[in-house]
Amino acid sequence: MAGLLGDPWFLWAIGVAVSVPLLLVGLTEWHNSLRRRGSALRGPVAVLRNFLLPMGAVLALMIGATQMPAGSTPVRIVETLVAFGVLVLMLSGVKASVFSSAPETSWRRRMPGIFLDVVRFGLIAIGVALISAYIWGANVGGLFTALGIGSIVIGLTLQNSVGQIISGLLMLFEQPFRLGDWIETPEAKGKVVEVNWRAVHVETGAGLQIIPNSVLAGQSFGNLSRPAGTHTITVDTVFAVEDRPEQVCEMLARVASQLPQCNPDAVPRAVPLGAMSYRTTIPLT
């Protein structure tokens, strides 16, 4: 028994057998608590519990308990999975703690998702290169050189398309509009329903209008959802000649004030335009 306790593989096996269930219970309770509070950190904790902890336990058993060589192919495969899990955990943790939980007025909340995707892709590429170099012993210097030369060639070939993407990214970084806003451009007037790498999709009364980001970045347009004053709408109506104007205006103002979209802190106004026409101005929420 004393010899068994002195074997390194036995101590590794006991350590993994005891620590993994305790860590699983602790991480499960932590994840449930974050989920009840609606915290954005529940995603990284789920990655740590469901993927990184089991892979780490397998790696510990392979290296410590079974005494497998560190350079063997099975160990390298598990090390690659663990390293990739650490990379995913770091990226999701930074996004959840820095951007997802940021206040609405913070610059972190106004950061477009496309920029985050670009940064995430770059960090993943760097992480994969480091994993290939340190775990598999790959020569990534030549790969980066080839990628640099290739990017120059691709940039010269697709300079117009790349220019459109860059101009669109700069416009989105300013965020003159968001999803759900109503915008008015020389090409279309409607509601923004999608924003992607290449274009902005605007839902109009005649269908879906797709406007390239570079076109919006190079011209002026109006955001109807962010007016200088209050939101208002005007409605023109026509009544019979025998209807008294003061009664018509009173009736129009009363009906407008009962609309569910009417701003309760403002008063609708109705005025006669002549020729039996009336115009009602309705303040909206």
- 29 pLDDT above the threshold of 80: yes
Q: Are residues 200 and 246 in the same domain?
A: no
CATH number at residue 208: 2.30.30.60
Domain finish residue from 56, 89, 111: 111
Q: Are 184 and 245 members of one domain? A: no
Class of residue 68 by CB neighbours under 10 A (exposed 0-12, middle 13-18, buried 19+): middle
What is the percent of the chain where pLDDT is above 90? Answer: 1
pLDDT in tens, 199-234: 788 888 788 888 887 787 777 788 877 765 567 778
Identify whether residues 214 and 253 lie together within a single domain: no
Of 108 and 232, more confident: 232
Asked whether residue 41 falls in the same domain as residue 77, the answer is yes
Q: Is 209 helix (H, G, I), strand (E, B) or coil?
A: strand
* Residues 255 and 201 grouped into a single domain: no
What is the secondary structure of 100-160 as a DSSP string? ITS-TTSTTTTS-HHHHHHHHHHHHHHHHHHHHHHTS---HHHHHHHHHHHHHHHHHHTHH
**Average pLDDT, integer, range 146-175:** 64
Partnered with residue 201 across adjacent β-strands are 194, 210
What confidence score (pLDDT) does residue 108 get? 63
In a domain, 159, yes or no: no
Instruction: Answer yes or no: is 140 within a domain.
Output: no
Which pLDDT score is estimated for 158? 52
On the question of pLDDT at 149 being above 70, the answer is no
Quote the pLDDT of residue 249.
87
Q: 236 and 192 share a domain?
A: no
Q: What is the pTM of this model?
A: 0.54
Total domains, the chain: 3
Q: Are residues 219 and 236 in the same domain?
A: no
Could you list the residue range(s) of the whole structural domain that residue 57 is in?
A: 2-111
Average pLDDT over residues 177-193: 82
